[in-house]
Amino acid sequence: MSRFIRGSVVVGAFIVVLLTGAGRSFATVPPTLALAATGSGDQVTVQVTGDPNASVLLSYSKPGAGPTIVSLGTTNGSGQFTDTISSASYGLSSGLPVTAILGGTSGPKSPTMYWPTVTSANALSLDRAAVVVSVGSSASVSVLNSGGSALYVSNNSNPSIANVSITGSSAAIVGNVVGQTTVTLCTVGITANCPSVYVTVTQAGSGQLSFSNANPSVVSGQNLPITVTGGTGSYVLINNTNPSTISATLSGSVLTLSTGASTGSSSITVCTSDQALCGVVVASAASTNSVTVSFSTNAPVVATNQSTNVSVYGPTGVQFYVSSNSNPSIVQANLSGTTLTLTGISAGTSAISVCASSGTCASVTATVSAVAAIGPITLSQNTLTLQPGSNVAVTVSGGQPPYALVGGSPSIAQAVLSGSTLTVTGVGAGTASLDVCSSGGGCTNLSVTVGAAGTSGVTLSPSTATVAIGQSVIVSLSGASSYYLSGNTSSNVATVAVSGAIASIAGLSPGSTVATICGSGSSCATLSISVAAPVSTGGSTGSTVASPPVSSGYTFTEYLAPGKQDAEVLQLQKTLAAQGYFTHVATGYYGAVTEAAVIKFQAAHGIEQLGVVGPSTRAALNALSVASSSSAASATGSDISTMTLAQLKLTVQELQAQLNQVLSRIAQLSGN
């Protein structure tokens, strides 16, 4: 059994299509799509070829709005369709990819084309086609309105992402949540030529990505690389407002731009893969003769006796050259290919002009910062914590004297610089920041925290200390969970070493000093120390025995540096251990641990912190030895029954050191 249904014959389970029309039959023709702006308003002529009498659908996807399919009409008996439509009527914007579909949504599709750029006598234009704003922040887009009519938002593809308000000729865009939306602006009464801005909203408080060239000119045939920096280092290409003019591809952190046009522009949005940070590159197509020479940075900074490279961008195949250098005594400029190498000579600025063989030029302004040849400026400590009325001395070294103070907060802390000694006195609770600068250029920062009056928390027992030269006393610390030495006004008078809840004070020379000892929670206390001449202790049983000497009486004669290994290095380690700077087993090898201990010793004694034992450090070590030699003899002759374990250990170390010297001398004599 069979029956007819609208030109088809149903036979069993099969459908046979009856073809009519003077014996002709039509095979499926792959559709094509052509687009052309008419030059009048936002009107675009759409031409489609394909099967005859087939419905014509236009398919496109707007960012944030999803897929959109609209019906335009039907091809004629020859398979042709032509119509002129308004871009704004369909929400179409320049550069948007579109496809024609024939015969229904599942029918054959044309190759993808890009919606052309439209213009109008009543033209609207935006100062930017893409913008990045963080949640809770706003960005302003300026509108050039030659028609003069009032503006309005004709479309916001995803209003939950961003709010848009218009005041005069400016549109304020406020980020709501992370995402993207496209905002279209029109003038009242005119639906033609309504431009759009692509909005990317990032996380609250986030910044933006950086590009080696954020406003490049791209010439036909050129592949222009742009380096992306910032964020996680993993990037994605989010949007390209006009891909028909500027093609963009992203590989790793390199955005590559190319074009086949000589005019037009596009805004390319790039984000980190988590979209925490985004940025926009605005690229323009240009002809070889009109392209502007550009640089990876227009304001490079380089130090004296150092170099930095600046990339030069321009048309492919064009040679560049340095046209002028306003201050060659400030910076030397050399150009090799597309790399401009700048070498700092002296402090100052210079303008360097680079030209292309096509005749266009551009300039960079280089700034040279002076750096002293002897190295950067350093402080014995970069952070201070003290109480109102207390003071701390900080040693300044390196750089180029004389030094100078910059900044600070006198109501919190007063700072006085005398030579290489910076004395800071607490005034009121708070934090202050000041810079200590070298006359040869370069500064380093000192951060000062002053606690509230009466909130010390740290308790010293005793609160004052008196010690003889070559002797030591112990002060107990309480009131905090941990302690550290914040400052010592005269480290040449006495050394102070804090270990656990104990502060050990060793007398070096007659005089007085003030040590600031701080604990957890920014609490501090000051310890007044007086150093007097050595006191005889006697040797009778039951008498008070002097504290063990702080040094062995050894005389240092060698230049000691990392890598050295001998008996004098061994004695150095023992001496530094007695002073509290060296806490490891003495081995006689000058390694990184010994170098660090020497630096601590040098800082405490106002010596340049080089980590080697030179004349100044050797003199300080020998001064300790001379001061403690009589005390050493007294200690070894005392009644050992009254000595503590620590005193006995130090006494044994002194005897071992003397024995090592004797054995070393015997070995020398035996060799002769």
- List the chain domain ranges: 1-119, 124-202, 210-286, 294-369, 377-532, 567-668
* 330 phi/psi in degrees, rounded to 5: -90, -45
pLDDT over 90 percentage in the chain: 11
Give the bridge partners for 354, in sequence order: 322, 362
Residue 564 CB coordination number (10 Å): 18
176 within 8 A of 259, measured Cβ to Cβ? no
Over residues 553-560, the mean pLDDT reads 82
**DSSP secondary structure of 49-93:** ESSTT-EEEEEEEETTTEEEEEEEEE--TTSEEEEEEETGGGT--
Matching fold, domains 1-119 and 377-532: yes
The dihedral sign for the CA sequence 613, 615, 617, 623: positive
pLDDT-derived band at 64 (thresholds 50, 70, 90) equals very low
164 within 8 A of 154, measured Cβ to Cβ? no
484/518 Cα distance (integer angstroms): 5
* 234 phi/psi in degrees, rounded to 5: -110, 125
Over residues 577-589, the mean pLDDT reads 81
Selected residue with higher pLDDT from 363 and 500: 363
- What tokens does 44 get? 């675009």
Which range is least confidently modeled, 106-120, 589-603, 649-663? 649-663
Q: Which fold, 124-202?
A: Immunoglobulin-like (2.60.40)
Over residues 466-484, the mean pLDDT reads 77
234/184 Cα distance (integer angstroms): 31
Give the bridge partners for 465, in sequence order: 529
Residue 26 CB coordination number (10 Å): 13
Give the bridge partners for 250, in sequence order: 255
Q: What is the pLDDT of residue 220?
A: 72
Long-range contacts from 156-165, C-beta under 8 angstroms, 24+ separation? 156/181, 156/182, 156/183, 156/184, 157/62, 157/63, 157/64, 157/65, 157/181, 157/182, 157/183, 158/64, 158/65, 158/182, 161/64, 161/199, 161/201, 162/133, 162/199, 162/201
Over residues 375-401, the mean pLDDT reads 76
Q: What is the pLDDT of residue 23?
A: 38
Considering the chain, what is the average pLDDT of its residues? Answer: 76
| Bond from prior residue into 548 cis (ω within 30 degrees of 0) | no
Rg (CA), the chain: 41
Selected residue with higher pLDDT from 234 and 389: 234
Assess whether pLDDT exceeds 70 at residue 663.
Answer: no
Selected residue with higher pLDDT from 548 and 164: 164
Assess whether pLDDT exceeds 90 at residue 182.
Answer: yes
Top-level class of domain 210-286: mainly beta
C-alpha distance from residue 376 to each of 130, 303, 401, 660 (Å): 44, 12, 11, 40
Assess whether pLDDT exceeds 50 at residue 363.
Answer: yes
Q: Say whether 528 sits in a helix, a strand or coil.
A: strand
Which range is least confidently modeled, 295-304, 402-411, 481-490, 529-538? 529-538
Selected residue with higher pLDDT from 6 and 440: 440
Q: Does CATH place domain 1-119 in 2.60.40.10? A: yes
201/181 Cα distance (integer angstroms): 8
Assess whether pLDDT exceeds 60 at residue 29.
Answer: yes
Q: Does CATH place domain 294-369 in 3.40.91.10? A: no
Q: Which fold, 377-532?
A: Immunoglobulin-like (2.60.40)
Selected residue with higher pLDDT from 7 and 505: 505
Assess whether pLDDT exceeds 50 at residue 194.
Answer: yes
pLDDT-derived band at 475 (thresholds 50, 70, 90) equals confident
Q: Domain spanning 567-668 has what CATH number? A: 1.10.101.10
